Amino acid sequence: MSSQQTSLYIKIEKNSMVKDRHVKLSDVAKMTGTDEAMIRQLKQMKIYSFPQKAKKTEYVQVMTSLKIFEMIQEQYPNVDITNEGEADFVIEYEPKLQPSKAAEYAKTGILCVLIFFGAAFTIMAFNNDISVTELFQKLYYQVLGKESTGITELEICYSIGLPIGVIIFFNHFGNSKITNDPTPIQVEMRKYEKDVDDTYIANCGRGGKTIDVD
């Protein structure tokens, strides 16, 4: 170990998912600095090991960046560490399991059916709530001066415009996107993930389960 002062810049992600129960520093952080040899060794440094036969509730662990810095300085006392990332972070362990294609197809099919009928029910409930049929009848009479006799141009345009409006709003159709902006679903998912991570950190902190310095 060198007695010369070296600089290390480290950026720890707020949430990292790992496939191996033995977690290395490179699994949760990106590093750069003045000593390339030191960085190569630090990338291989083990920072945590999940229990071999852990319950699913034990597949999440919260650590602090201070604990990481303490572990680094045990090996490199003269390193000057600059934190460019999170103060507290979450490690999620996802064991390597052979996925069943039949199960994946079944889950996808069930999800598609639920979404289809759920969306259809929501649209029908909305149309019934605002009495869209009566609305179209009145609008048709006011514009053309005669009673509607069933399906008219209004219903046809409404039926075509509704899915087009949904596609434009969600900025997504199949694997294609209309613009490069993130879709509303992606934005909400990122917010949800952030809230989940914050809750993990808060709960572990209150329960004394966070791995931190003494």
Using 50 as the pLDDT threshold, list the residues of the chain that sit under it: 1-2
Mark residue 61 as left, alpha or beta (left: phi above 0; alpha: psi -120 to 50; beta: remaining): beta
pLDDT score for 4: 66
Could you give the CA distance from residue 45 to residue 26 in angstroms, rounded to a whole number?
A: 8
Could you give the CA distance from residue 181 to residue 52 in angstroms, rounded to a whole number?
A: 42
Superfamily grouping for domain 7-97: eubacterium ventriosum atcc domain (2.60.480.10)
pLDDT score for 191: 95
Could you give the CA distance from residue 95 to residue 184 in angstroms, rounded to a whole number?
A: 31
Could you give the CA distance from residue 48 to residue 59 in angstroms, rounded to a whole number?
A: 12
Task: Please report, for the chain, the start and end positions of each structural domain, with discontinuous segments joined by +.
Answer: 7-97, 101-205
- String of DSSP letters for 143-210: HHSS---SS-HHHHHHHHHHHHHHHHHHT-BTTB-SSSSPPHHHHHHHHHHHHHHHHHHHHHHHHT-S
**Are the C-beta atoms of residues 9 and 79 closer than 8 Å to each other?**
no
Could you give the CA distance from residue 74 to residue 46 in angstroms, rounded to a whole number?
A: 13
**Are the C-beta atoms of residues 196 and 49 closer than 8 Å to each other?**
no
In the block, which residue shows the tokens 């662990």? 61
